[in-house]
Amino acid sequence: MATGEGLISMVNWTKIRNDFPALERTINGRPVVYLDSACMALKPRQVIDAMNEYYECYPACGGRSIHKFGEEASNAYSEARRKFRKFLNASDDSECIWTRNATESLNIVASAVKLPKGSKIITTSLEHHSGSLPFVERARRDGLKTEIVKALPDGTFDIEDWKKAVDRNTSMISVVHSSNVTGTVAPMKEIVEIAHDRGALVISDDAQYAPHHPLDVQDLDVDFSAISVHKMCGPTGMGVLYGKLEHLKSMNMCFYGGDTVSDVRFENGEILPEYLPPPEKFEAGLQNYAGAIGAGAAADYLQAIGMSEIEKHERSLLEVALKRLSDMEHVHILGTNDISIKTGLVTFNVDTVSSAHDVATFLNDEFNIMVRSGWHCVGPFHYQMGIDPKKGTVRASFYLYNNREDVSSFLSGIETLIEASK
Ligand SMILES: Cc1ncc(COP(=O)(O)O)c(C=O)c1O
> For the CA atoms of the chain, what is the radius of gyration?
22
**Residue 64, pLDDT score:** 82
Residue 65: how many other CB atoms lie within 10 Å: 13
Per-residue pLDDT of 166-215, as tens digits, reads: 999 999 999 999 999 999 999 999 999 999 999 999 999 999 999 999 99
The residues facing 182 across adjacent strands are none
Q: Which of 303, 324, 340 is the last residue of a domain?
A: 303
Burial, 288: exposed, middle or buried (Cβ in 10 Å; 0-12, 13-18, 19+)? Answer: middle
Residue 5 in this model has a pLDDT that exceeds 90? no
- Do strands 239-243 and 170-176 pair parallel, antiparallel, or not at all (unpaired)? unpaired
Residues 266 and 349 in one domain: no
Is position 2 within any domain?
no
> Counting beta carbons within 10 angstroms of the beta carbon of residue 357, is it exposed (0 to 12), middle (13 to 18) or buried (19 or more)?
middle
Contact 240, 265 (CB under 8 A): no
In this structure, the answer to whether residues 291 and 339 fall within a common structural domain is: no
Q: Answer whether 305's CB lies under 8 Å from 11's CB.
A: yes
Q: Best of 133, 231, 238, 376 to mutate for ligand 1, by most ligand atoms within 8 A of CB?
A: 231
Query: Which pLDDT score, from 0 to 100, does residue 65 have?
Result: 86
Pocket of ligand 1, candidates 98, 103, 176, 373: which has the most ligand atoms within 8 Å of its Cβ, to mutate? 103
Q: Are residues 276 and 323 in the same domain?
A: no
The Cα–Cα gap between 155 and 166 comes to 20
The one-letter amino acid code at 409 reads S
- The residue whose CA is least distant from atom 16 of ligand 1 is 180
* Domain that residue 336 falls in: 13-40+306-421
Cβ < 6 A, ligand 1 pocket:
39, 101-103, 128, 130-131, 176, 180, 205, 207-208, 228, 239
- Count of all residues that appear for the chain in the document: 422
- pLDDT for position 63: 81
Q: Whose CA is nearest to atom 15 of ligand 1?
A: 207
Q: Are residues 299 and 374 in the same domain?
A: no
pLDDT attached to residue 383: 96
CATH number of the domain bearing residue 249:
3.40.640.10
Q: Where is the domain boundary, 254, 275, 303?
A: 303
Mean pLDDT over 348-371 rounds to 97
Q: From the CB of residue 168, how many other CB atoms can be counted at a distance below 10 Å?
A: 11
Amino acid of residue 93: D
Dist CA 41 CA 294 (whole Å): 13
- On whether residue 295 sits in a domain, the answer given is yes
- How many A from CA of 239 to the centre of ligand 1? 10
Q: Give the ligand 1 atom nearest the CA of 205.
A: 3
Taking each helix axis from N to C end, the angle separating 289-305 and 45-57, rounded to the nearest 10 degrees, works out to 150
Q: Do 94 and 118 sit in the same domain of this protein? A: yes
| Burial track 25-52 (b if 16+ CB lie within 10 A, e otherwise) | eeeeeeebbbbbbbbebbbbeebbebbe
Residues 253 and 379 in one domain: no
* 166 and 211 both lie in a single domain: yes
With 0-12 / 13-18 / 19 or more C-beta atoms within 10 angstroms meaning exposed / middle / buried, residue 292 is buried
Distance of CA 420 from the midpoint of ligand 1 (Å): 34
Same domain, 286 and 341: no
DSSP string, 238-307: -EEEEE-HHHHHHSPPS--STTSEEEEEEETTEEEEEE--TTGGG--SS--HHHHHHHHHHHHHHHHH-H
The pLDDT > 90 percentage for the chain reads 95
Clarify whether residues 95 and 170 are in a common domain.
Answer: yes
Q: Mean of the pLDDT values across residues 342-350?
A: 97
C-alpha 379 to ligand 1 mean position (Å): 14
- Evaluate whether residue 6 is within a structural domain: no
Total number of domains constituting the chain:
2
Does 27 lie in the same domain as 83? no
- Report if residue 147 sits inside a domain: yes
Task: Assess whether 135 and 173 both reside in one domain.
Answer: yes
Atom number, ligand 1, closest to the C-alpha of residue 376: 14
Task: Give the pLDDT band of residue 223 (cuts 50, 70, 90).
Answer: very high
Query: Is the predicted pLDDT of residue 4 greater than 60, yes or no?
Result: no
DSSP of 116-158, one letter per residue? -TT-EEEEETT--HHHHHHHHHHHHHHT-EEEEEPPPTTS---
The residue out of 253, 268, 303 marking a domain boundary is 303
Residue 8: per-residue pLDDT = 58
Task: Please report, for residues 154, 178, 187, the alpha-carbon distance to residue 342 in angstroms, rounded to integers and kept in the order given.
Answer: 11, 8, 12
Do residues 217 and 335 both lie within one domain? Answer: no
Instruction: Say how far apart CA 185 and CA 177 lie, in whole Å.
Output: 6
254 has catalytic annotation: no
